[in-house]
Structures are given as C-alpha cells and as structure tokens.
Amino acid sequence: MADVQLRVLTNSLRMEPVVAAAAVAEAEAVAAAVAEAEAELAPDVLPVGGERARRLADLSAKLYPGGLVRVGSVGGGKGCVLPAAYVPHVEAVRGMAVRPDDVWVVAPPKCGTTWMQELVWLLVNNLDFDAAKQQPLVDRFPNLEYSLLLSEAEEEREPRAAGGFERAQAQAAPRLLKSHLPNDLLPRQLWTAAPKIIYVAREAKDVAVSYFHHDRLLNGYSGDQDFHFECFMEDLLIYTPFWDHVLEFWEMRKQKPNILFVLFEDMKKDLPATIRKVAKFLGREVSEAQVVGLSDHLDFHSMRDNPAVNLVPQLEAERGPLAPEQRFLRRGEVGDGRRVMAPTTAARLDTWSRQHLAGSDFPWRP
C-alpha cells in the first residue's frame, strides 16, 4: 500500500432511493459536506507493514481481512494497532452517547481488566455473588468495541459477539463498559459527561508474557515468545503502543477527578485496600465483612475456577476441551515476566520502559 495517509470517512448519510434527480443531487451534496466535515476530525489510518509484521501474521491462525492498521494519534501520531475491520466503526464509537452514571474500566490488554470488572460489577450490584456466578461477565460488563474488531467469518464463529456494540449501549443504567482503546479513539463525550473511569495498568514485562499466552490461546499464535516480545516492543500487536496508552491516562488523571488510576501490583499486594479505594471512588459503602467476602470471591484462584469469568465455557464450546495450561486467567502473578524471560530479554524490556518513562513520574517498578 502507498505510504500516504488515508482519512476515515464514516457516518455518511444513508438516504432512501428517490426518483427526482434534484433530490438525489441534494442528498449527495449533503452527504459530501458531512463527510468532508467529519474527515477534518477523523483519525488517520495507516497500514501496519514491514517484514516483522508479515511474519507475525504468518504465525497467527486468526486472520484479519484487510490486515492490521494504525488508527488515531496515540504514540505521537503512530496510532493504535487495530484490525482493518474496525475502521468503518471509528466514528460510531467516538460519537457514542455517554451517560454521567456510566462506569468505565479502561486498560491495555492483560493488565487485570477482568479482575477489576468483577469488582466493579459487584460493588454496583450490591454484592450479588449468586448472579455474578451465574451470568457470564462478558454479558454483565461488555467490551465496548470487541464485536467491531471481527470480520464476518469471525462473527459466524463467535455468534455471541455479533451486535455487541449495540448491546453494550442498550444496557440499563448504570451501564458498565470496558474498553482497551486509547483516549483519542474513545467516545468524545467521556470528557463532557464525565462518568467514572477506572484505569488499570501493569508492569510491562508481565503484560508481555501474559499477552504472548493470550495470543497463543485466542489467536492461534505459533511462534516463539521472544519474537512476540519483540512485536510488543515494536508496537505491532493489537492495541499497542502500550506505554503511550498508559501514560496518557496517567497524566489525564491529574486534571480529571473522574479517573481513578489503579496498578495491578497494588491489587495483588493489598486487595482489601483496593476494594475500599474503588468502593469510595464509586460512592459505595462496604463493611469489613463485605470486604472479606469480596476478597474471597476475587481471589485469583477463585476467579480462575469461576466459569462466569474464566471464559472456559465459551472457549470449549468453540474448540473442545482445553488443556490445563490453556487458561484465559493463567497465573495472575507479579514478576512473572522476570521469571519467564531470559535475563537479556528482561533487560531489553526494562531499557525500553525506561526510554518511554523518561521525564514521567509514573511509579515504575521493574
């Protein structure tokens, strides 16, 4: 593809056929004007190219018709990596109506989003543990954009995902919404309606290891982990660049009191303290007995064995029985990256993190 920037032109008017040529011409003129106006605000879209990107695609069983593209301005204009299938939906998401009583959980993948979602759902729903064990989390607390990433063939394999964007918006209040998108691709009204937003971040080496296992399980990645780590650092995986995503919200939280920034490591170190912190942010009172009950329910081993959150029923319905190591919730440990990686690889990721964090007050813990 040419190395020129393409503009996303979305939300063009859909007109019923009319007989009168004048009406047709007028409709076309209006549509062109709308498209031109929106093009001024629409994110740039660039193909993800290069030999390493082609090799990554060859090593992944999950196919993305049209390939991967970089959308938006995150990363100093580099853009967020997404399937090309998402491009027609960019403006639908950015133009989505946001309600002040929404609760959002936003994070890059593999940062503890599922863990935080379960906590938030329980706090908002009066600690209804029975309902939490019976209804899948993906239905209770949907991923806003997941269905929009899928091709038609993938939607046929995952019929539960079809129409997910519409269902997420149609939730009864208060709506609970999850997204992995960076700030510039999220709904614009997030910053005018000002709903509660909980952002979760995690140490980069641990994210890289978890992402490798995620892609093996869900995307059929068959390459080695070191190559996958390189792709993570080179911003070739979906939803990368990682540090730009994190640091933008880290800085925004200083001016926006509707953002609560939570570290995965703090959740692991003192889950009861995190429960109290999130409850206070959401305006929910919890007794010490309730904190104990939440801590037991949210214990990693309990979460891993809970079919309402571990995706095992959905995955086994698609591909048959899973081996013990094929877990969506795998280890949930702090320091897994350093334990798994070769020392030279861990050092490279640390150097990469230091470069991105230069001048930031982000509390990095290598």
Question: Active-site residues: which are they?
Answer: 180
Helix (H, G, I), strand (E, B) or coil at 206: helix
What are all long-range contacts of 222-231, with beta carbons under 8 Å and residues at least 24 apart?
A: 222/59, 222/60, 222/61, 223/55, 223/56, 223/59, 225/340, 226/342, 226/345, 227/55, 227/56, 227/59, 229/341, 229/345, 229/349, 230/52, 231/52, 231/53, 231/56
CB-CB contact of 7 with 44 (8 Å): yes
The pairing of strands 103-106 and 196-201 is parallel
d(CA 58, CA 41) in angstroms, rounded, equals 34
In degrees, rounded to 5, the angle at the alpha carbon of residue 319 between the alpha carbons of residues 325 and 137 is 75
